[in-house]
Amino acid sequence: MASPSSYLSSIPILTGDNFQQWVKDLELHFGLLNLDLTLREPKPNALTDKSTTKEKTKFKKWDNANRKFILFVKKAVPETIRENVEVKDTTVEFLNAVKARFELNTKA
C-alpha cells in the first residue's frame, strides 16, 4: 500500500476550474487513509466527566481525523482563497466555507 504522503501529494492544489474533482480526490484519498470519519459522521458530543470510555475513544478518533483533514485542506487551498475563509470547527463546515469562497472568486 502507498504511503500517506504519496496519497496526499497526488491531490492537486485547488485552482479556478478543478473544485469538483479536487473534492472527489480529497474524499477518495482521505477514505483510503481512514481519515474520512469527519465526512461520514457528525461531530460527537463534547466530553464530560461522565463520558464513557467508548465516547472518549470515538471523540478522540473523530477529533484527530478532523484536525488532520483541516490542516491538509489549508495546505491544498491557495492563499488567496484561504486568507478569506474562516476556519470552521468541522471538516464539512470548512469545506463548505472554501466552496462558498471559491464560487465567489470564480464569479468575480
For residue range 59-106, what is the model confidence (pLDDT) as tens digits? 999 999 999 988 888 888 888 877 888 878 898 998 888 888 777 666
- Name the residue among 21, 3, 9, 1 with its Cα closest to residue 72: 9
Per-residue pLDDT band for 5 (boundaries 50, 70, 90) equals: low
Cα 17 from Cα 22, distance rounded (Å)? 9
Residue length of the chain? 108
Structural contact between residues 64 and 39, judged by C-beta atoms closer than 8 angstroms? no
Cα 90 from Cα 46, distance rounded (Å)? 13
0.85 exceeded by the pTM? no
DSSP state, residue 17: T
